[in-house]
Amino acid sequence: MPETLLRLHAQALRLFGERLRAVGDGQWGAPTPCTDWDVRALVNHVVGEQLWIPPLVTEGRTVEELGDAFPGDVLGEDPLAAWETASAAAHAAFAAPGALERTVHLSYGPSLAMAYCSELTADCIVHTWDLSRGIGADDRLPDDLVEFSIKEVMPYADGLAASGMYAEPLEVPAGANAQTRLLALLGRKG
């Protein structure tokens, strides 16, 4: 399982990076399916998530200790370079020997790093779709990443809207493909 998770995590990061490389100069202010975020804000969010991983997983620090270590704009003048540095460090942190068996201290309490990696892998996959939609790129996601994300999201999908971070789940049409089902769980219409 750890090898599979690390492979899927790396694949999700690569896919997001591919979409990020496709962002045109005039697209940073384009809207995304995340209604509060334009393309730059969405990318900033995903890069910011990667920045948290090394101190939480490798250093054993807590969210409270880190406080607002990564506030505001973490992209600077070169969003792609920020992504490449942050995503490489994040994957290295999860891939270190024994890292996935560690306990990480998140805002909602202690969690296994394996569960944290799974959560962020699914989040990166869905945000790849959001970014693709924002820039008008191909929004099809690889089947293995979609199936992984469905399994990750399904156990807590009913409570996501209550967090205020997701829209209410949508009704899934009969015969819908896996990507449509995943997006519907998260209140997104594919």
What b/e string do you get for 134-155 counting C-beta neighbours within 10 Å, with b at 16 or more? bbebebebeeebbebbbebbee
User: H or E stretch including 178?
Assistant: helix 178-185
CA distances from 48 to 83, 97, 104, 111, 185 (A): 9, 24, 17, 19, 24
Residues with pLDDT less than 50, the chain: none
User: What pLDDT is stored for residue 71 in this prediction?
Assistant: 85
**pTM listed for this prediction:** 0.94
Write out pLDDT tens, residues 103-152.
999 988 999 999 999 999 999 999 999 999 999 999 999 999 999 999 99
Task: Record the tokens describing residue 45, joined without a space.
Answer: 């969010």
Give me the pLDDT at residue 127, please.
96
- pLDDT at position 172 is 86
Would you state the pLDDT for residue 2? 87
Amino acid 17: pLDDT: 98
